[in-house]
Amino acid sequence: MRIQTSEDLDSIRKRGLQKIQPGRPRIGVGTSSCGIAVGGIALYNRMHKIIQMKNLDISLVKTGCIGFCKEEPIVSVNIPGKALVLLRKVQEDDAERIISLALEGDVPSDLVLCKISDWDHITGNLVYGNGFDTIPEYGEIPFFAHQKKVILRDSGLINPEDIDEYIGIGGYSAAYQALTSMEPDTIIDEVKKSGLRGRGGAGFPAGLKWEITKKAPGEEKYIVCNADEGDPGAYMNRNEMESDPHMLLEGMLIGAFAMGVHEGLIYIRAEYPLAIERLMLALDQARTYGLLGKNIFNTGFDCDIRIATGAGAFVCGESTALAASIEGKTGRPRLRPPRLTEKGVFGKPTDLNNVETWCNVPVIIAKGALWYSSIGAKGNTGTKVFSLVGKVDNIGMVEVPLGTSLHSIIYDIGNGGAQGKEVKAVQTGGPSGGCIPVRLFDTPVDFESLNQVGTMMGSGGLVVMDEDTNMVDIARYFINFASGESCGKCVPCREGLKHMLLILNRIIAGKGTREDLDLLRELADTVQKTSLCGLGQTAPNPVLTTMQYFKEEYDALISSEA
């Protein structure tokens, strides 16, 4: 059926809620890439087989990722009228007893992580119920307690392969509101007022970019979602798409309407097969409901969104390289200006935003700019999702208001170093970012503060290093990465990074000299200042920050030889 009126949307919403709370036990298995990697699918299949064979009255669904990677595979069990319980580190062999206990209205106590009595989906509220008095509430678990879930509000709780569940918790109501009762300019104003800044790393005001695209001359234009997450150690966008694909589509639909654009593209890495699969499915479902295609919500507005796959090139995160890649060319950045908003995909004005930027849009429309801008800090509103990885105890995806300190993320949420080791530094911003030492952990995570300490927000990877990590080796790792990902167009990046790597290899092998250190610094400066695009301009950051904050580690390698 096609959804055209608010009554249509309401009826699907009721159906979706019925699926989330079906009046019989519901078991959800975390099956995002991370869950699958540790056995989620095998677990799901085992449960499915048991339920089918015994013809049991249990609803079994795949859910996305709740973010606590360390505890995966995570399984949620919801007994009607009782709190939803999250089980941790569930093995295939646990399937049988989880199912039989669920039928008795119970859960295996040895696997319990926490319970959720009610949940704020922001676009809707779900009350699960009480019970399980001895099990701690979700908010009592330190890993969750310090987080604020806006983007991840549905992750791990709904079935990402079923549009009804997304609509069930209020999905597409913001799009309905925007398309049927808001002027395009009012939507842009709202996004501007919310203070939303680009989540791809640079932090450009999203509403302003929308306005520029809208005003650019020309009938044919594109909106593009950058889902080419290339940072080695960042996987937020993948989980967002795998866990809640419709949130992205809804954001893009609202944006398309506001800018008067009829064609959307999602540029996604070929290395994300599950995200591609779930997005394809989501697109089909949205088309079936008439949420994409012609005459959406009977407003006369047409819009479709399609997928374009990348093929493994970090440099395609650069906007002009990304546009070239969509056109079927090699991703070599071109000179700017003209910017994409003027001359983008196939030479048409193009608005390019990161996955997470688009994902913020539905809640901004649903709850208003005022509500949104009350989250986070001044000039840095909203939340940001980070992948907290490396040598930290609680590995996972975390979402916090912008302006939260690194200390809070790494110690309150991450519980400090793994295996009781001392944390030494954290790397933010991937290969474009830098390493921040412990003594600067009071730094609030916002676009400007991170720049001030020599790193950047980037797309959101936080890699924790401990006392055993050699910082020179980390610098070499990132230069090796950046050099391998350089497109090779301009000489500072192509040759400069190669020679930085050679020098670092020499230093690590104990064959470096004082002159090597000076040359490394000199070269880093030139690569930063003279490279054509952002990749080269930021690639020296890991070297520059480690030389600044961990100079003694470089010196130790030099003096050991001399």
Partner 1 sequence: MSLFGSMNRMVTITINKNQYLAEEGEIFLLTAMRLNIDIPHLCYEKALEPYGACRLCMVDLVTCGKTTMTPACTIKVHNGLEILTDTPQIIKHRNLLFELYLAEAPKSEVIREMAAKYGVKKTRFLKKIVHEDPLLGKCILCGLCVRVCTEIMGTCAINFINRGPYTVINTPFFEQNPDCAGCAACAQVCPTKAIVFEDRDAERVMQSWSGTTVPLATCSSCKKSFAPEKLMHKVLDKLDPAIIEEIKSLCPECRRQHITRKVIRKVPKS
Partner 2 sequence: MDEKTLDGIIEKYPYPAGRTLGILREIQLQERHIPMDTLKLVSVKLEVPLSELFALVTFYSFFSLKPVGEHLITVCMGTPCHVKGAEKILETLQGHLGLSGDTQDGKYLQTTPDNLFTVEIARCFGACSMAPVLHVDGDLHGYVTPERIPDILEIYGWKR
User: What are the residues binding partner 2 (CB under 8 A)?
Assistant: 32-34, 37-38, 69-70, 72, 222, 230-235, 238-239, 265, 267, 270-271, 306-313, 325-331, 345-346, 387, 389-391, 395-396, 427, 430, 461, 463, 465, 469, 474, 477, 481, 484, 487
Shorter beta-carbon distance to partner 2: residue 120 or 327: 327
Closer by beta carbon to partner 1, 88 or else 498: 498
Task: For residue 500, give the nearest of 431, 428, 550 by alpha carbon.
Answer: 431
Nearer to partner 2, 311 or 509 (CB): 311
Q: Name which of partner 2, partner 1, none residue 335 binds, using a CB cut-off of 5 to 8 Å depending on partner kind.
A: partner 1
Three-state SS at 496: helix
346 binds, among partner 1, partner 2, none (CB under 5 to 8 A by kind): partner 2
- With 0-12 CB in 10 A as exposed, 13-18 as middle and 19+ as buried, what is 506? middle
Under rule CB under 8 A, residue 530 binds partner 1: yes
Instruction: Give the footprint of partner 1 on residues 17-76 (CB under 8 A).
Output: none
Identity of the residue numbered 334: R
Closer of 78 and 483 to partner 1 (Cβ): 483
496 binds, among partner 2, partner 1, none (CB under 5 to 8 A by kind): partner 1
Find how far residue 493's CA is from the centre of its chain.
Answer: 28
Q: Return the number of the residue (221 or 489) whose C-beta is nearest partner 1.
A: 489
> Quick one: what does residue 211 bind among partner 2, partner 1, none, with the CB cut-off 5 to 8 Å set by partner type?
none
Residues comprising the chain, all counted: 562
Place of tokens 């730094």: 443
Q: Which does 34 bind (CB under 5 to 8 A by kind): partner 2, partner 1, none?
A: partner 2
Site for partner 1 in 287-316 (CB under 8 A): 313, 315
Return d(Cα 546, Cα 548) in angstroms, integer: 5
**Could you give the CA distance from residue 549 to residue 329 in angstroms, rounded to a whole number?**
40
Q: Choose among partner 2, partner 1, none what residue 270 binds, the Cβ cut-off being 5 to 8 Å by kind.
A: partner 2
> Quick check: 40 and 48 in contact, CB under 8 A?
no
- What are the structure tokens assigned to 224, written together? 């593009």
Question: How does DSSP classify residue 282?
Answer: H
Among 53-61, 184-192, 330-338, 372-380, the segment contacting partner 1 (CB under 8 A): 330-338
Which stretch in 131-139, 395-403, 446-454, 528-536 sits in contact with partner 1 by CB under 8 A?
A: 528-536
Binding-site partner at residue 235 among partner 2, partner 1, none, CB < 5 to 8 Å by type: partner 2
**For residue 41, which of 52, 30, 26 has the smallest C-alpha distance?**
30
The C-alpha atoms of residue 391 and residue 470 are separated, in whole angstroms, by: 13
Three-class secondary structure of residue 58 per DSSP? coil
Choice between 65 and 174, CB closer to partner 2: 65
Segment interacting with partner 1 (CB under 8 A) among 44-52, 55-63, 136-144, 525-533: 525-533
Strand pairing category for 26-30 and 59-63: parallel
Cβ nearer to partner 1, comparing 282 with 547: 547
Cα end-to-end span (Å), the chain: 77
- Any idea which residue has 């989906």 for tokens? 121
Query: Among candidates 153, 148, 151, which has minimal Cα distance to 169?
Result: 153
Q: Which does 308 bind (CB under 5 to 8 A by kind): partner 2, partner 1, none?
A: partner 2
Least separation in angstroms between CB 231 and partner 2: 8
Taking the C-alpha atoms of residue 552 and residue 562, their distance in angstroms, rounded to an integer, is 15
Strand, coil or helix: what is 30?
strand
- Size of site (CB under 8 A) for partner 1: 33
Q: Which of 523, 539, 544, 547 binds partner 1 (CB under 8 A)?
A: 523
User: Which segments of 387-512 does DSSP mark as H helices, in order?
Assistant: 406-407, 447-452, 471-485, 491, 497-508
232 binds, among partner 2, partner 1, none (CB under 5 to 8 A by kind): partner 2
* 371 Cβ contact list (under 8 Å, min separation 6): none
Q: Which residues bind partner 1 (CB under 8 A)?
A: 313, 315, 330, 332, 335, 483-499, 502, 515, 519, 522-523, 525-526, 529-532
